[in-house]
Chains A and B, each alone.
Chain A
């Protein structure tokens, strides 16, 4: 379980997260929607400790992410993250991209790591691209490579930060399909997304972010068909 309590985050004087309370249960898929600049990415960065926080706490399976004694490198193995930019390692082939972290972080043997990597690439539909360098892959394929790379660490949670926003429209589908498969397999996921269709179909709950707070949270049916907050209504009217 990921549990966020009274979280505040500042960038200098900029108050970006202004008191977030949120719980994500094992197996749940939470979509986070909201306007640009509302703090969605920042929230994900605070969950895996890339950004420090000024107040409040994030607990991942009971481990306080921002406690001084927490081993973040160890904790991050529980939290896979996929970014808007896929960030493939350009000097490594697809399978090496995926095998690198299992090998050096989890200290797997090379053959073991390669086996895991091949399995995960198969999983995201890149089974025929094992020995291809990233520059020969499309954006959609590179993003699926990034998903496989995160999955190879055997995470308990997956955080997606607008995984499809940088893709050409015709490549969005294949990445969303991969995420859908993960959700069906029971992966616990937090998906920051602008894909309202995906949020509606795949999520168990949808959170609407507005200026650094969770303005409204509920089932997809409730948020999309019967939003309570005026802000949510305004936002949904704009994105439709």
Chain B
């Protein structure tokens, strides 16, 4: 009798902390993949801008694959094929690799747009002051371009945070996976999904608020 009580039991405070831990895992994998993916994507965006022909022939089609194949398919394929080429990665590591590449592919286009947004006359003006290519990039193109693309970048970041839910298919216990476990046990899907929704909101709301504030400050 005792046994069946623990199999189906109602939603408790411990479950909330279980979900809280899962939310931290969602946050952690999202944070890592958005950060690394943005650096990588910034580099790809620069390469697309600077190497028009090579970019069009090799880089862009490659990035297109990451952008257009559904993320869940990429995750399952990578997780199952990685061992074949001798990579032994767990669910978290596989998820991180795929999410990072996916983010970088999305950020690449955004970043290229940012460089283009600065315009040639502005860059000629900074070069005419004696700035080197790198100084122009670092002190003029980057700050102006980054501000121009910031809203789109935030959109990508929030999207990736939500998409990280798909890593649950590999068994990584982030929010969605955790909710499935709890739903099976408590048989209270509605309540748990509401709580999970609240967690996602709590993760992304500060980001979008803070970014709105930054945008306002820059446009002053």
Q: Is B12 an interface residue (CB 8 A)?
A: no
Further pairs besides A81-B128, A83-B125, A104-B139: 11, Cβ < 8 Å: A50-B127, A74-B130, A76-B130, A81-B125, A89-B126, A89-B144, A100-B129, A100-B139, A101-B129, A133-B220, A146-B125
What 8 A-B pairs are tightest by C-beta distance, nearest first?
A87-B125, A101-B129, A81-B128, A105-B130, A76-B130, A77-B130, A91-B143, A87-B122
Least CB distance, A111 to chain B, in whole angstroms: 18
Q: How far is the CB of A71 from chain B (nearest CB, A)?
A: 10
Q: Given the interface contacts A91-B218, A105-B135, does A150 sit within 8 Å of B143 by beta carbon?
A: no
Chain A contacts of B130 at CB under 8 A? Answer: 73-74, 76-77, 101, 105-106, 153
CB 8 Å contact bits of A150-162 with B (1 = contact, 0 = none): 1001000000000
Judged by a CB distance under 8 angstroms, whether B183 is at the interface is no
B124-163 to A contact mask, C-beta < 8 Å, 1/0: 1111111110010001100110010000000000000000
CA of A106 to CA of B144 in the docked complex: distance in angstroms?
22
Within 8 A of A (CB), among B195-220: 218, 220
In angstroms, Cα B122 to Cα A153, docked, is 17
- Cα distance A85–B128 when bound, in Å? 14
Q: How far is A80 from B131 in the complex, measured between Cα atoms in Å?
A: 12
Residues A83 and B140 in contact, CB atoms below 8 Å apart: no
The answer on a CB contact under 8 Å between B135 and A104 is: yes
CB distance from B181 to the nearest CB of A (A): 48
Which of chain B's residues have a CB closer than 8 A to the CB of A150? 128-129
A73 to B134, CA, bound (A): 11
Q: Would you call A169 an interface residue if the criterion is a C-beta within 8 Å of the partner chain's C-beta atoms?
A: no
- B131 in contact with A83 (CB, 8 Å): no
> B121 interface residue, CB < 8 Å from A?
yes
> Shortest distance in angstroms between B212's beta carbon and chain A's nearest beta carbon?
18
Given A89-B140, A100-B139, A105-B135, A149 contacting B218 (CB threshold 8 A): no
- A50:B132 contact, CB within 8 angstroms: no
Are A79 and B147 in touch, CB under 8 angstroms?
A: no
A79 proximity list for chain B (CB < 8 A): 128
Residues of A within 8 A of B127 (CB): 50, 73, 76
Nearest B residue to A133, CB-CB:
B220
A-B contact count (CB 8 A): 56
Give B139 Cβ to nearest chain A Cβ, in Å. 6
Smallest Cβ distance from B109 to chain A, in angstroms?
Answer: 23
- A153 touching B129, Cβ below 8 Å: yes
| B147 proximity list for chain A (CB < 8 A) | 91
CB distance from B59 to the nearest CB of A (A): 27
Whether a CB of chain B sits under 8 angstroms from the CB of A120 is no
- Give Cα distance in the complex from A76 to B220, angstroms: 34
| A12 adjacent to chain B (CB < 8 Å) | no
- Cα–Cα distance between A210 and B93 once the two chains are bound (Å): 67
Interface centre among B122, B125, B129, B139 (most CB of A within 10 A): B129
A90 near B: Cβ within 8 Å? yes
Residues on the B chain within 8 Å of A90, using CB: 144
- Asked whether any CB of chain B lies closer than 8 Å to the CB of A48, the reply is yes
Q: Please determine whether B132 and A48 come into contact, CB atoms closer than 8 angstroms.
A: no
Closest residue of chain B to A90, judged by CB?
A: B144
- Flag if B128 contacts A105 (CB, 8 Å): no
The contact of A91 among B121, B126, B135, B144, by CB within 8 Å, is B144
Point out the residues of chain A lying under 8 angstroms from B143, CB to CB. Answer: 91
Q: How far is the CA of A100 from the CA of B220 in the complex (A)?
A: 21
User: Taking CB as reference atom, which chain B residue is nearest A77?
Assistant: B130
Provide the bound-state CA to CA distance between A33 and B66, in Å: 54
Which residues from chain B contact A91 at a C-beta distance below 8 Å? 143-144, 147, 218
Contacts of A50 in B (CB 8 A): 124, 127-128
Given A91-B144, A91-B147, A104-B139, the answer on whether A73 and B124 have CB atoms closer than 8 Å is no
Write out the residue numbers on chain A whose beta carbons fall within 8 Å of the beta carbon of B122. 87, 89
User: 5 A–B contact pairs at CB < 8 A?
Assistant: A76-B128, A76-B130, A77-B130, A104-B135, A149-B129
A100 to B136, CA, bound (A): 11
Partner of A85, one of B121, B135, B144: B121
